[in-house]
Chains A and B, each alone.
Chain A
């Protein structure tokens, strides 16, 4: 890839893919932006007059909007903290030689293969249900008042379910990173008098920095659009307690049939995603260099 001819040939060869991808992205984006300026409600079909900034105005001034933004950030932040910290812990445990390593590793990774709707329903009915759920039963058998998770701590419950699903992903990536650490470095640190916690802090954690960055970036992309778990458990409620931006857009466009308003929300989601991306890249992007 150094000569002029090979460079231009390479550009020519990848151009169809790039053009296709660009159209794939640009067309829906332009349509979304276009719809967001129309008064476009499926309940009054036919006319779709120009609405100017009205959709944006009503979307922002909607009382659920503020809640949705904060819920989205709390959801992403909470899950990231749990999965990264938990993932490091699990990776450290699984890195040790032990009996039945293969089976245990498969079991740890299993939740990632369960569909979001299914795992959310399992959690809702088998674990979090105050009457039939395991936690409810444990509480009752201990003579305690069972917690009605989705009524009392709805957002935390959602965070918990989604963390359970993403923890395997973080564990897997961090485990492979941990296994690529040169054992001689750890032995050298041991000879240098570093205790286990010092070895973790000064040798392992810096080695994991890049993998942690990858986990955070990839998860953020997916966690900004958490939807299925909310739909099958709380439907965004009680009130707006678990409504995130994705769910709010769903409410406006598919429950209120307001395509214009939904599109305006979509544009907000794009902006929010980009703001988060810029912050993330600023904070941790330097880990990806060098």
Chain B
């Protein structure tokens, strides 16, 4: 079981309030991702839940019980750190055994759980090595193994993939998602990478300056961003946001349209037009950066891979009108 509730939780470092009063419920078995730009307080929030930082006020409940003043070890949570935080002088086996040794789990039970975790994480051959002799991905798996054997109420991940190279990151992303499906344990995952958030989460919490901007499933956030910040943050490449007469013509202060919702065509017959800047060819798709559209400095458009425009060409743009997002003066969504 792992239902985590935050009630009016705040955190201040001296005079600076990093987290203004915040309410959040994470249901049992949910994969929740905290996402936001760096310095938005997402790691602090995770550390508050872990118990590595004290809350300034408010309550944290784990399965209904008040855990606000419990020390980290008593909360039944396991954490995977960004630097993995493996103990360098211990073998992989001892690293994984450490939390059980501290909890005085009997030896044969320890060994059973280690074997089980090692098998699940493909670490059986490396049990007698030291962390220094492992690759980044393997270290990451050891860190996860150390968390699994505790059989925690919830797993906390603090940007666990940011030290890995791009290819490994995709692989580990899948492994963590699979692990979640298999264990069905609550997981809270902190990242600044919205792709990780979109691909892994059941529920995404978008944070800015300690405030929750929006909570929802990945597709909810993609389809109906509550404000311009979420609109610009979720989705890759970013949503095109523009103000001015063109936006007013659509009945909004700020209007936004995603690159994948704009079609290219003959400038004579389309709604907007502009000049092609940089074209990024990915094979399957091509991203065009369009200038001089009268909307914003740059408009990004996603076109099929075989569409070929050169730098400086005139290009016509046709947005899908039903996919245009409209926001008012305060940046809030107009329904």
Question: Measuring CB to CB, which residues of chain A are less than 8 angstroms from any residue of chain B?
Answer: 182, 184-185, 187-195, 198, 202-203, 206-207, 209
Tell me if B85 and A185 are in contact (CB < 8 A).
yes
Answer whether residue B126 sits at the interface, using C-beta atoms and an 8 A cutoff. Answer: no
Tell me if A185 and B50 are in contact (CB < 8 A).
no
Nearest-CB residue, chain B, relative to A205? B89
**Segment of B74-82, B217-225, B243-251 engaged in the interface with chain A:** B74-82
Chain A neighbourhood of B90, CB < 8 A: 202, 206
Tell me if B99 and A192 are in contact (CB < 8 A).
yes
A184-B85, A188-B81, A202-B90 provided; 8 other pairs, C-beta below 8 A?
Answer: A184-B82, A187-B52, A187-B81, A188-B85, A188-B87, A189-B98, A202-B98, A206-B87
Question: Can you list 22 A-B pairs with a CB-CB distance of less than 8 A?
Answer: A182-B83, A184-B82, A184-B85, A185-B85, A185-B86, A187-B52, A187-B72, A187-B81, A188-B81, A188-B86, A189-B87, A191-B51, A192-B73, A192-B99, A192-B150, A193-B103, A194-B73, A198-B102, A202-B87, A206-B87, A206-B90, A207-B88
Query: A182 contacts which of B51, B71, B77, B85 (Cβ < 8 Å)?
Result: B85
Given A198-B102, A202-B98, A191:B73 Cβ within 8 A = yes
Tell me if A190 and B98 are in contact (CB < 8 A).
no
A131 to B256, CA, bound (A): 90
A192 to B88, CA, bound (A): 16
A206 to B95, CA, bound (A): 14
Answer whether residue B146 sits at the interface, using C-beta atoms and an 8 A cutoff. Answer: yes
Nearest-CB residue, chain B, relative to A186? B85
Given A187-B52, A188-B79, A194:B102 Cβ within 8 A = yes
Smallest distance from the beta carbon of B185 to chain A beta carbons, Å?
16
Smallest distance from the beta carbon of B162 to chain A beta carbons, Å?
13
Nearest-CB residue, chain B, relative to A184? B85
Query: A193 contacts which of B50, B87, B89, B99 (Cβ < 8 Å)?
Result: B99
A191 to B52, CA, bound (A): 8
Nearest-CB residue, chain B, relative to A207? B89
A188 to B88, CA, bound (A): 13
Question: Measuring CB to CB, which residues of chain B are less than 8 angstroms from any residue of chain A?
Answer: 50-52, 71-73, 77-79, 81-83, 85-90, 98-99, 102-103, 146, 150
Tell me if A191 and B87 are in contact (CB < 8 A).
no
Chain B neighbourhood of A206, CB < 8 A: 87, 89-90
Tell me if A191 and B102 are in contact (CB < 8 A).
no
Chain A neighbourhood of B99, CB < 8 A: 191-193
A198 to B89, CA, bound (A): 15
Tell me if B146 and A184 are in contact (CB < 8 A).
no
A194 to B83, CA, bound (A): 19
A194 to B98, CA, bound (A): 9
Chain A neighbourhood of B102, CB < 8 A: 192-195, 198
Chain A neighbourhood of B72, CB < 8 A: 187, 190-191
Chain B neighbourhood of A182, CB < 8 A: 83, 85
A207 to B89, CA, bound (A): 8
Chain A neighbourhood of B79, CB < 8 A: 187-188, 191
Chain B neighbourhood of A202, CB < 8 A: 87, 90, 98
Smallest distance from the beta carbon of A201 to chain B beta carbons, Å?
11
A190 to B87, CA, bound (A): 13
A187 to B102, CA, bound (A): 14
A120 to B201, CA, bound (A): 69
Nearest-CB residue, chain B, relative to A203? B87
A192 to B72, CA, bound (A): 8
A193 to B52, CA, bound (A): 12
A188 to B50, CA, bound (A): 10
A189 to B78, CA, bound (A): 11
Tell me if A192 and B52 are in contact (CB < 8 A).
no
A37 to B146, CA, bound (A): 66
Smallest distance from the beta carbon of A208 to chain B beta carbons, Å?
11
Smallest distance from the beta carbon of A209 to chain B beta carbons, Å?
8
Most chain B beta-carbon contacts within 10 A, residue among A182, A187, A192, A207: A192
Smallest distance from the beta carbon of A38 to chain B beta carbons, Å?
53
Chain B neighbourhood of A190, CB < 8 A: 52, 71-73
Which are the 5 A-B pairs with shortest beta-carbon distances? Answer: A193-B73, A188-B85, A192-B99, A184-B85, A193-B102
Tell me if A191 and B98 are in contact (CB < 8 A).
no
A198 to B101, CA, bound (A): 10
Query: A192 contacts which of B51, B83, B89, B98 (Cβ < 8 Å)?
Result: B98
Tell me if B98 and A184 are in contact (CB < 8 A).
no
Chain B neighbourhood of A193, CB < 8 A: 73, 99, 102-103
Nearest-CB residue, chain A, relative to B150? A192
Nearest-CB residue, chain A, relative to B89? A206
Chain B neighbourhood of A195, CB < 8 A: 102
A185 to B50, CA, bound (A): 15
Chain A neighbourhood of B98, CB < 8 A: 189, 192, 194, 202
A195 to B88, CA, bound (A): 19
Chain B neighbourhood of A209, CB < 8 A: 89
Chain A neighbourhood of B88, CB < 8 A: 207
Chain A neighbourhood of B51, CB < 8 A: 191
Chain B neighbourhood of A207, CB < 8 A: 88-89
Query: A185 contacts which of B82, B87, B103, B150 (Cβ < 8 Å)?
Result: B87
Smallest distance from the beta carbon of B246 to chain A beta carbons, Å?
49
Chain A neighbourhood of B150, CB < 8 A: 192
Chain A neighbourhood of B85, CB < 8 A: 182, 184-185, 187-188
Chain B neighbourhood of A194, CB < 8 A: 73, 98, 102
